[in-house]
A and B are shown apart, each in its own frame.
Chain A
Amino acid sequence: MPSASPQPSFIPREMQQVSVVNRAHRGGLADLFILISIVFLVASVALAVGVFLYQQYLQSSSASKVDQLERAKAAFEPSLILELTRVDDRMRAAGEILGGHTAPSAIFRMLEAMTITTVAFRSFDFAATESGNISVKMDGVADSVNSIALQADLFSKGGMITNPIFSNINRETDGVHFNLSALVDPAAINYAQIVSGISPSQNAGGGVVAPAVLPENVSPFESGATPPAAGPSNPPAGAAPPATPPAGSN
C-alpha cells in the first residue's frame, strides 16, 4: 500500500530540518543584535539627555556666578579704589622725596659756626648731583696763611665738609686769597635727619675747639680779613701754625 500523502517538496526532509535549525539560530542572533543595539541606543540617549541637562545646569549656574561677580565688582567702587591707590602712591612718593630732601641752610649755619674771624668768604657755589654727590666751592680771603690752615683744620674736624681742598693761595694787598672746594656729607644736610636731631650738623663745631669763630648768625661772607699792612697776622689763640702748606697751595 502506497503512502497516504505524497512528498510535496523535492528537498529532502533532513535538509528541511537542518534549515529550520539554522533559521532558529539566525533568529536568536538577530534578536541578540537587536537587544544589544537597543541597549546601546537607550544608553546613548540617556547619556545625551544627562549631559544636556548637566550642561544646562552649569550654564545657568555660570550665569549666576557671573552675575555675582558683577555685583562684587560694583561693590568695590572702582572710583574709590582709584582714590585709595592715588593716596597710597602719593604717600609713598612723598616719603621717598622727603627722605632725600636736603637743607642747604645747614651748610650756612655750619659756616657761621666754624668760620674764624680772620677768614671771609667772597663767593659760594653749591651743587647737588642726581647721584647724591654734593660739592661746594668757595672763594675767600684770610689775613694770613696760618688762618687758612686753621680754617682747614676746623672744617676737617667739623664732619660736614669732607676733603676740603684749599688752592690758589695768593697773598694780595687785602689779604691772602684762596679757593676752597670740598664735598659735603649728604647725611649732614638731610632734612629728615636734621629735624630728628641726629644729623652731625646739629653739633657742627661741637667738640672742636674753635677759637675766635664768628658770633652766631653772623655772615661768614662779611667778616673782613685784616689787611697785612694793618699789622702782623695774629692767629687766634689755640691756633697751631700749619706744619705743611694746605693742599693745592701755590
Chain B
Amino acid sequence: MIKNLLSIAGLALAGGMFFLYTQPTYDNVQVLKERMSQYDQALDKASELQQLKQSLLSRFNAFKTEDLDRLRKLLPDHVDNVRLILDLDNLAAHHGMALQNVVISEPASESGGASVIGSIGLGHRRFDSLTLKFSTRGSYEDFAAFLGDLETSLRIVNVVSLGLVRESDVLTRGLTYRYDITIRTYWLK
C-alpha cells in the first residue's frame, strides 16, 4: 500500500515538475533562442553598417570644408529671409538700383502649394520654399546685369514672375523701367 502511494506520489511529482516548471521554462528558452537569433542578425547588420559608415565617412572627409560651406549657403537650414533681402539689396545697389515694396509669402508647406497636386508633391520634398516679391527701378543694362547676378548667386532663387514697364526718368532724361519681380527661395526642412 505504501509502495503504491509512493509510486503515485513520485509520478505526480514528476508530472507536476514537468508541466509546471520544465515545459514553461522550455517555452521561455525557445523565446530566448529566437531573440538570440535576432541579436545575431542585428550584430551582423551592425558590422555591415559599420563598414558602410567607414566608407561613407572617408567619402565625407574627402569633401572640402569650403565646398560644404558653399552647399550650406546654397540651401540653408532656415529660410533666413532677412539675410536674403539684405543680399538682394546689396546686389541691386551694386547695379545702381534699390529694392522697394518687399513682400514675403507663407512657406509653400504651410500655404499648401498652388494646387492639390502641388500640395501632395510638397509632402515628399526635403526642402521648403517661399516667394518674395519686390520692385526696383533702373536701366535695362543695369537690370540685365542684376538678373544675371541673381541667377548665378550661390543662394539659389528662381524667378517666378517678372514684370517690366517702361518709365521715363526726368532727371537723367534716359529710359528707365520699373521691374516687379517675384522670386522663390528654398531651404532644407
Residues of A within 8 A of B17 (CB): 41, 44-45, 48
Residues of B within 8 A of A221 (CB): 140, 164, 166, 175, 177
On whether the beta carbons of A37 and B7 are closer than 8 Å, the reply is: yes
On whether the beta carbons of A90 and B164 are closer than 8 Å, the reply is: no
On whether the beta carbons of B156 and A101 are closer than 8 Å, the reply is: yes
On whether the beta carbons of A62 and B36 are closer than 8 Å, the reply is: yes
Contact residues, B145-172 vs A (CB, 8 A): 147-148, 151, 156, 158-166
Residues of B within 8 A of A69 (CB): 39, 42-43, 46
On whether the beta carbons of A123 and B7 are closer than 8 Å, the reply is: no
- Distance in angstroms from A145 CB to nearest chain B CB is 22
Contact residues of B: prevailing secondary structure: helix
On whether the beta carbons of A37 and B6 are closer than 8 Å, the reply is: yes
On whether the beta carbons of B162 and A58 are closer than 8 Å, the reply is: no
Chain B residue with the shortest CB-CB distance to A104: B159
Query: Which of these, B36, B39, B56, B125, contacts A93 with CB under 8 Å?
Result: B125
For A43, A75, A90, A123, the residue with the greatest tally of chain B CB atoms inside 10 Å of its CB is A90
On whether the beta carbons of B39 and A130 are closer than 8 Å, the reply is: no
Residues of A within 8 A of B32 (CB): 55, 58-59, 62
For A68, A69, A94, the residue with the greatest tally of chain B CB atoms inside 10 Å of its CB is A94
C-alpha spacing A130/B60, complex, angstroms: 34
On whether the beta carbons of B14 and A41 are closer than 8 Å, the reply is: yes
Query: Which of these, A27, A59, A84, A89, contacts B57 with CB under 8 Å?
Result: A84
Query: Which of these, A68, A108, A127, A191, contacts B144 with CB under 8 Å?
Result: A108
- Distance in angstroms from A58 CB to nearest chain B CB is 4
On whether the beta carbons of B126 and A92 are closer than 8 Å, the reply is: yes
Q: Do A89 and B164 contact each other (CB < 8 Å), given the known contacts A33-B4, A41-B13, A76-B50? A: no
On whether the beta carbons of A126 and B161 are closer than 8 Å, the reply is: yes
Residue pairs across A and B with Cβ atoms less than 8 A apart, 26 shown, are: A31-B3, A33-B3, A34-B3, A34-B6, A37-B8, A44-B13, A44-B14, A44-B17, A44-B18, A51-B25, A51-B26, A58-B32, A59-B32, A72-B50, A80-B57, A87-B71, A89-B126, A96-B125, A97-B158, A104-B162, A124-B162, A128-B159, A128-B161, A130-B113, A130-B115, A217-B144
